[in-house]
Amino acid sequence: MPNIDRRDFLKLVGAGSAGVGAGFMLGESIKHPVEYLIPHVVAPEDFSTGIDTWYNTVCSMCSAGCGISVRTREGRAKKIEGNPLHPVNQGRLCARGQAGLQVLYNPDRLTHPLMQTGQRGSMSFTQITWEEGLDKVADRLDLLKAAQRGNRVCMLSQGIRGHLAQLFELFMDQLGSERLLHYDFDHPHTLYAANQRFFGEERLPYYDLKNTRFLLSFGADYLGNWISPVHHSLGFGHSRQGSGVRGQFVQIEPRMSLSGAAADEWIAAIPGTEGILALGLAHHIVSEGHYRGVDRDDWIAALSGYTKSQVAEQTGVSADTISRLADTFVHTEPSLAIGGGSAGNHSNSVDTLVAVNALNYLVGNLGKTGGLLFNPEPAGQVSSARQASYRTMIELGEDARQGNIEVLILNGTNPVFTLPSASGFSEALAEIPLIVSLSSFMDETTALADIILPSHTYLESWGDDFPEPGVGFSIGAISQPVVSPLYNTRATGDILLTLAQKIGLSEAMPWGNMQDYVKGGWRQIYERGSLDTRMESFESFWTAILKAGVWGEKMHRDPAFTLDKGVIDTIGVQAPEFSGSTDTYPFVLHPYLSTSLHDGQGANLPWMQELPDPMTSIVYGSWVELNPATAKQLTLKEGDLVDIESPHGKIRAPVYIYPAIMPGVIAMPIGQGHSEYGRYAKNRGANPIEILSPQIDQLTGALASSATRVKIVATGRRVELVKTGGNSRELGREIVQTTGGKASHSAKLNSIPITEIST
């Protein structure tokens, strides 16, 4: 501490301010970092006055693969912003990306290896050394490898890409195991399958929202959580302000999402009928002569059962609206149709998303600016081929029960929280002799592990990423550590490389650490590059990428596409299936990803807990959204506590009256309801995933998370919802007045200007 005389000290803290002075001295006594109120005359050796350092790396808070720039001072990360050079987010960043600092500095991080000493789930963990932990795991792996039972080892990871995904593949291959799975609750299995069926490739295209002039979205909340929301938000903003022509956006879904609120028109469709509506639009396009392709007769035959009157009856959308949407979609160029979200989470979702692709085909949107563009092959490893569906996870649980899995290695995934209770996955884990977790936090699945080898956070690790979907051309980015490790943790790749050395795999996996492995992989990318790229040395190439934070090849796909006639023959969407009878369970549950907590990954971050929900302004906790007509029918008011019961369980939440939802539907955000996962997440709210029925899409095995019926039971209790938005009613003050149209317009009743929905 620099020498300060009494006069100067009094100037700083205020004469007679004993409390301030006491606080100043208390800070010294408990060794908290000191912030001086005057500039340093002689700065400490490690302090550069007025100078900060920015590192470009990759955000890992979701799967979009945004580039970030991290500001550091004196070795500590201070602020995260978007990297302006990265084509995915172009300098922008969502709230979750900004909250990455709270992953790094979270007080509930696992800071050293642990071993379970009591029964699983008892939270009886004892600190051990890295050598002890690695040796225990290596001994079991070595034994299985020597006995040629390597296939009894399973690795279950969150979705990862790049060279870490490649390292996982190599490690499991050397063990002789094919049980490598990636599991993410929100992975769009049905969208991949629909593209495989229609386009013949299981790779997502690039949806050019930036240049479109008319967007039809069937359930895809592109501004909230769908695929790459920051990139889509940029495209949305550009189209809105675009070159002389303002883009139009239409959102079709049973509950208004963030994208629906921002759209020009929100259309409520009966849950699970979005694909039927898409085929109704397609029928109008073909029958009115707007499509004149050589296969027109085939389309007429395939769409004969989707006339406007038939579709209107099934979807709840009027025939006039169907005609108007179809005509606008044809005559506004360029136009684009996208599908996902709730529309991709039903028993008929693959057929639904194929129908959406058909709309783009019939109006010539494929390979066209402002439409749907085909992405080239990613330059590095992606995880979609290894993504586990709900059916795959059930099969994994059955293998565990039969004793076919002896070691389970977990990396950053939390299936105990993100699988329904009906799956029985938590009980299946009890049959696995050794569970090892590489997680940075004590989530519900990690709490059942025998050994925890905690990984660095992404801000402390080497890695790379190749975003999927791409942006129309190949891009990649290197993830570099921006700070030294804060605790006694290790990089995930380094943990695997050490285990490989301990079990005799050094010849196949000779790298000393993850940095060497990533650098070697990028040397291969450099060597297969163009001559212009290789005019400089690899070291210059490597340094340039680290500085820029991104690399790309401006190589675009051929836009030509020929549709297989067999695809037309399979066009059709069956009515959706729901669990539970309509008499006992009259409402369809619409669980949706929270914009801040996502599928629960962000629930341990206080910034995300305090971020108001954009549609309700509620912070913390959970709630269930009811249409005013539904609430009136059940004599419920805002704040009433109710039980939401499905055929497979029951949860409790307070009521929120939400005008922008269909009367036969109730909605709940996903993300709360953790039993572990740190002080900010534990025992807060309810988890709607818990009560979902095990309905699946038969083609992909994906969980049909929007196909559960429920009933509402009042408890007679009330709570006060914590909101930042105040009262959404005008309380008779006539602040909002109608200027024409129907006198019954709901603008006088609520803050969301929507025409009243009837059943």
Strand 206-207 to 214-218 pairing? unpaired
- pLDDT, one tens digit per residue, over 643-665 is 999 999 999 999 999 999 999 99
pLDDT at 381: 73
pLDDT at 756: 40
- Beta bridge mates, 593: 670
pLDDT at 748: 33
Q: Phi and psi for 519 in degrees, rounded to 5?
A: -65, -40
pLDDT at 553: 78
Token pair in block for residue 239: 């189209």
Strand 640-646 to 474-479 pairing? unpaired
Q: How confident is the model at residue 241 (pLDDT cuts 50, 70, 90)?
A: confident
Same topology between domain 114-185+387-553 and domain 189-373 = no
Helix segments in 176-212, DSSP class H? 189-199
pLDDT at 560: 83
CATH class of 587-718: mainly beta
Token pair in block for residue 463: 């890695």
The Cα 255–Cα 216 span in angstroms is 16
Q: How confident is the model at residue 536 (pLDDT cuts 50, 70, 90)?
A: confident
What is the mean pLDDT of the segment spanning 139-147? 95
Identify the weakest region by mean pLDDT among 48-57, 184-193, 350-359, 527-536. 527-536
pLDDT at 275: 97
pLDDT at 384 over 80: no
Residue 254 contacts residue 590 (beta carbons within 8 Å): yes
Token pair in block for residue 206: 């690039």
pLDDT at 724 over 90: no
- pLDDT, one tens digit per residue, over 3-40 is 444 444 334 333 333 333 332 222 333 344 555 555 55
CA atoms within 13 A on the CB side of 334: 22
Contacts of 433 (CB under 8 A, 6+ apart): 406, 407
Token pair in block for residue 273: 């009928």
What is the mean pLDDT of the segment spanning 124-147? 97
pLDDT at 54 over 80: yes
- Beta bridge mates, 436: 409, 451
Fold of the domain spanning 114-185+387-553: Rossmann fold (3.40.50)
Amino acid identity, position 675: S
pLDDT at 276: 98
pLDDT at 301: 96
Q: Where do the structural domains in the chain lie, given as residue ranges?
A: 114-185+387-553, 189-373, 587-718
Average pLDDT of the chain to the nearest whole number: 89
pLDDT at 123: 94
Residue 686 contacts residue 671 (beta carbons within 8 Å): no
Residue 229 contacts residue 222 (beta carbons within 8 Å): yes
* CATH architecture of the domain covering 189-373: 3-Layer(aba) Sandwich (3.40)
pLDDT at 2: 38
Residue 248 contacts residue 215 (beta carbons within 8 Å): yes
Q: How confident is the model at residue 203 (pLDDT cuts 50, 70, 90)?
A: confident
Token pair in block for residue 375: 């992405």
pLDDT at 732: 62
- pLDDT, one tens digit per residue, over 736-750 is 444 333 333 333 333
The Cα 342–Cα 602 span in angstroms is 21
The Cα 186–Cα 62 span in angstroms is 10
Contacts of 229 (CB under 8 A, 6+ apart): 64, 94, 221, 222, 223
pLDDT at 690: 97
